[in-house]
Chain A
Amino acid sequence: GAVVSQHPSRVICKSGTSVKIECRSLDFQATTMFWYRQFPKQSLMLMATSNEGSKATYEQGVEKDKFLINHASLTLSTLTVTSAHPEDSSFYICSASIGQDYSGANVLTFGAGSRLTVL
């Protein structure tokens, strides 16, 4: 089945530094990947939609200069949290689906998530 690998699973960094999170589709090509953020005891909130070879589309309220998304290939998307601050501490999860259809049927496969703690 479709597998999405996400690294690192945990990262602790100092305030003001940048952190990069990688999301790879291991056995399929992902034209589109989605990045979510989840605060403790809350739901997953979509941050951005990442399309291979084009600029990411950010949800309202998400700072695109702070959360840099690059989708340079069909199997890799990266999220870079720039100048991280304690309020950026959260669980970041990427996801991808195989192919593109218009029935809404494609199941999203999720990475295992990356827990970011900014000190």
Chain B
Amino acid sequence: AQKITQTQPGMFVQEKEAVTLDCTYDTSDPSYGLFWYKQPSSGEMIFLIYQGSYDQQNATEGRYSLNFQKARKSANLVISASQLGDSAMYFCAMREPYNNNDMRFGAGTRLTVKP
């Protein structure tokens, strides 16, 4: 069963505007971690932000924030003030520490920032 779902294959945003990338997840474990990674065309995976299942507040890292809605099992990434360099693939991922503790990825969303 798909554990991480990203329903937006592609998104466009105007430079300097904010954009939300959707992510829903499925787990029965009470303890888990949610992550967002950016993958530019070079292929490297760049860690952006982390949200723990027990965290009370939404995570923020600079222009990145994570809209964590636990009851809805969603962990949307919000990028504020988009820049041209933000154009890349974005992957939502989850780790379940009592289930091998590996990282499972969603299908990804390709974000294109327009000048």
Instruction: Report, as a range, how many residues of chain B touch the other chain.
Output: 20 to 34
Task: Please provide the chain B residues from 54 to 110 with a CB less than 8 Å away from any CB of chain A in the complex.
Answer: 54, 91, 94-98, 100-108
When each residue 38-56 of chain B gets 1 if its CB lies under 8 Å from chain A and 0 otherwise, what string results?
A: 0000111101001011100
Known: A103-B52, A105-B50. A110 touches B106 (CB 8 A): no
Chain B binding surface SS class: loop
B106 contact set on A, CB distance < 8 A = 43
A105 contact set on B, CB distance < 8 A = 33, 50, 52
Give which listed residue, A42, A104, A112, contacts B96 with CB less than 8 A. Answer: A104
Which interface residue of A34, A43, A103, A113 has the most chain B CB atoms within 10 A? A43
- B positions within 8 Å CB-CB of A: 31-33, 35, 37, 42-45, 47, 50, 52-54, 91, 94-98, 100-108
Interface CB pairs A-B, < 8 A, 25: A34-B102, A38-B43, A42-B107, A42-B108, A43-B108, A44-B105, A49-B100, A49-B102, A93-B43, A93-B45, A95-B45, A95-B103, A101-B97, A102-B31, A102-B101, A103-B33, A103-B52, A104-B33, A104-B52, A104-B53, A104-B101, A105-B33, A108-B95, A112-B43, A112-B44
